[in-house]
Amino acid sequence: MKITINGNSISTDEGKTVLEVCKEAGIYIPTLCHDERLEPYGGCRLCVIEVKGVPRPITACTTPVSEGMEVTTESEALTSVRRSVLSLILSDHPNDCMLCEKAGDCDLQDLAYFYEVKPDSIPGTRRNLPIRDDNPLVYFDPNKCILCGRCVRICHEVVTKGTIDLVGRGFTTIPDTAFSVPKNPDNCVFCGQCISTCPVGALVERPSMGKGRTHGVKKVKTTCTYCGTGCNFYLNVKGGKVIRVTSDYSAPVNGGNLCIKGRFGYEFIHHKDRITTPLIRDGNDFRPASWDEALSLIASRFTELKARYGPQSIGGFSSSRCTNEENYLMSKWVRAALGSNNVDNCARV
């Protein structure tokens, strides 16, 4: 179908929302409550647009396109609405961007700058709720929460755990567990999905606090080594050390979603007991060796075993923590190089 956006004719498919079409066309529409991994919510009201024939602004994230639709994404009226919404959000939001962990990577900060909204444009009472610092992985400052609902929705829709929900009424509403019980292995899987979707500094990774902001780190895309699923993410490196893991929303396998191991299980990288060089047994001890020496020893020992006992005396057992490609290479090496069909994998059992 064809629709018109800001006077330009655009071809699109049925079933898409105006926000999706605009993103594909490179047309910017501000959002705070939207996450492509979640169902459209329409809560923040920042993505309001004007549609010919509709007497009021409507949200782009919840409005499906229709044949011949005429859309306006920028106007004085829409800018006024967005500034008003941002002013209301900032009216009780802490103005501590200088110390906030999310500074430089905060959607609210970027929008306030873009629309030139000052934090004190609407004076009033500010929240002074106690900070939830009751577990070693997730740090939650409810005073910075803008009630976009993204953490609650991702916990219900993607993780399907339902650990948190919007609790309380009015000024005291926060995303919290039932009866404010601290997050623990009984009610939370600690996947960090709530952190990944939070657009402000309300939810942050506790282990990485104070170690560096987004603009001061180098992001290195890699594949998780904890299982064979092949989830991609970014290692955030500063000073030669990994300080946190952040989602890769373009990853074809996981789309930015991670489990507790992928998001928080990176401390082994710099652990003092990590083996970083091959070891060869020397009597009752092990001595460090080069890769060339280790591989030559392995090749010679396999050659001896094959010559003495035959290829069927050798087998290969691979791990599901490896990727499909690595498991394939393991199988090919045993079958082609060693001449054995004794290949197995721990996933079979």
**Residue 106 is which amino acid?**
C
Closest to 66 measured CA to CA, from 12, 134, 124, 129 = 12
**188 conformational bin, left if phi > 0, alpha if psi -120 to 50, beta if neither:** beta
| Dihedral-angle region of residue 6 (phi above 0 means left; psi in -120 to 50 means alpha; beta otherwise) | left
Number of H helices, E strands in the chain: 8, 16
Architecture of the CATH domain 116-270: 2-Layer Sandwich (3.30)
Neighbouring C-beta atoms of residue 145, cutoff 10 Å: 23
Length of the chain: 349
CATH 1.10.1040.10 for domain 279-348? no
pTM: 0.86
- Say yes or no: do domains 2-74 and 279-348 share a fold: no
Question: 274-329: per-residue pLDDT in tens?
Answer: 999 999 999 999 999 999 999 999 999 999 999 999 999 999 999 888 878 888 99
Q: Find where tokens 């990853």 sit.
A: 251
Tokens in use for 27?
């047309």
Domain ranges of the chain: 2-74, 116-270, 279-348
56: amino acid identity, one letter: R
Q: Where are the beta strands (DSSP E) in 216-348?
A: 218-223, 232-238, 241-247, 279-282, 285-288, 316-318, 343-345
Per-residue pLDDT of the chain (349 residues; tens, 9 = 90+): 999 999 999 999 999 999 999 999 999 999 999 999 999 999 999 999 999 999 999 999 999 999 999 999 999 999 999 999 999 999 999 989 999 999 999 999 999 999 999 888 888 788 899 998 888 999 999 999 999 999 999 999 999 999 999 999 988 999 999 999 999 999 999 999 999 999 999 999 999 999 999 989 999 999 998 887 889 999 999 999 999 999 999 999 999 999 999 999 999 999 999 999 999 999 999 999 999 999 999 999 999 999 999 999 999 999 888 878 888 999 999 999 999 999 998 877 6
CATH number 3.40.50.2000 is the correct assignment for the domain at 2-74:
no
Question: Residues 47, 52, 54, 55: is their CA dihedral positive or negative?
Answer: positive
Q: Which residues neighbour 47 within 8 Å (Cβ) at sequence distance 6 or greater? A: 19, 29, 30, 31, 34, 59, 60, 61
